[in-house]
Amino acid sequence: MQEESPPPLVGCSKPHLEKLTLGITRILESSPGVTEVTILEKAPAERHMISSWEQKNNCVLPEDVKNFYLMTNGFHMTWSVKLDEHTIPLGSMAINSITKLTQLNQSSMYSLPNAPTLADLEDDTEEASENQPEKPHFDSRSVIFELDSCNGNGKVCLVYKKGKPALAKDTEIWFLDRALYWHFLTETFTAYYRLLITHLGLPQWQYAFTNYGISPQAKQWFNMYKPITYSTNLLTEETDSFVNRLDPSRVFKSKNKILVPKKKGPVQPAGVQKGPSGPPSTSKASSGSGNPVRK
């Protein structure tokens, strides 16, 4: 089934989109340098599409996921930054439509019979710890669906922890990084959606919930456009690492400002100064010393 998508909307002029984005467009549009805040409006999914997905995958979707798809069949919001007359795509918030909510371990890159699969990466030595729940499994013990490909930085997944038939109460949201390590995000889809919005779709924001954190380049963007969430304290934990902090007021300052030249002290012509004149060497030394004039 081919999805028909209307042209993207710049800004957020419709009430239901304003509710869907939790008013984040106003914050972005008022941020320095931000431009082209765009929302791809999508029609709601029909109930028979959700029922068909559940029957096909032998999984029951959680109620908050159903309600999301009944409001919009997927989500895609982007925004850019204008630097030196160049527009750079930066923020991206996306959730796959119901038709693209596909099982992760079924999309194999290999076609050979004996080719390695994700199930071969299973390591039972890594079990649940005190701070982390039990990690998902690539084999039949878990059922994993991709919610967002994160622009190639990893995958956010809806995980059923107890295999098929999968029940809605057994779902969690996890992040699979590029090294194929799992990181817990939230227990519910609603909580994850709030994280997605409040992190403004900044690059690699999911890595703020990993042990190694976001990259230095992404940290610079985090410092300029701070997420509206509790995880901003992660930016200041590593005091030893150097991060080039950018000041948005200086980066995006207007080039139309008139530069006012600094006032120089009055230059007295020769012969005007009253009183006994000093030797010529003294006046040359004072005028050519190059020391700044204190005001």
Report whether pLDDT(219) > 80. Answer: yes
- Is residue 144 a part of any domain in this protein? yes
The mean per-residue pLDDT over the stretch 36-56 comes to 93
Query: CA-CA distance, 12 to 20, in Å (whole number)?
Result: 10
- Is residue 210 a part of any domain in this protein? yes
Mean pLDDT of the chain: 76
Amino acid identity, residue 72? T
- Is residue 197 a part of any domain in this protein? yes
Query: CA-CA distance, 201 to 255, in Å (whole number)?
Result: 29
Percent of the chain with pLDDT over 70: 62
- Give the phi and the psi of residue 94 in degrees, each rounded to 5: -145, 145
Could you list the residue range(s) of the whole structural domain that residue 51 is in? 13-105+134-225
Of 188-192, 212-216, 249-253, the poorest mean pLDDT is in 249-253
- Is residue 100 a part of any domain in this protein? yes
- Is residue 211 a part of any domain in this protein? yes
pTM (predicted TM-score)? 0.69
Q: Which residues of 14-38 are buried (b: 16+ CB within 10 A; e: fewer)?
A: eeebbebbeebbebbeebeebbbbb
pLDDT of residue 106: 54
pLDDT digits (tens, 9 = 90+) for 159-204: 999 888 889 999 999 999 999 999 999 999 999 999 999 999 999 9
- Give the phi and the psi of residue 75 in degrees, each rounded to 5: -150, 135
- Is residue 96 a part of any domain in this protein? yes
Q: Which residues of 116-144 are buried (b: 16+ CB within 10 A; e: fewer)?
A: eebeeeeeeeeeeeeeeeebbbbeeebbb
- Is residue 54 a part of any domain in this protein? yes
The mean per-residue pLDDT over the stretch 101-127 comes to 60
Query: CA-CA distance, 31 to 29, in Å (whole number)?
Result: 6
Kind and range of the H or E element at 36?
strand 34-39
- Is residue 92 a part of any domain in this protein? yes
Reading across the β-sheet that carries 75-83, which strands appear in turn?
Answer: 9-10, 34-39, 75-83, 86-95
Q: Does residue 63 or residue 264 have the better pLDDT?
A: 63
Residue 80: give its domain's CATH number.
3.40.1580.10
- The answer to whether residues 61 and 5 touch, using CB atoms and an 8 Å cutoff, is no
Domain count, the chain: 1
Tell me the two tokens of residue 191: 């909580």
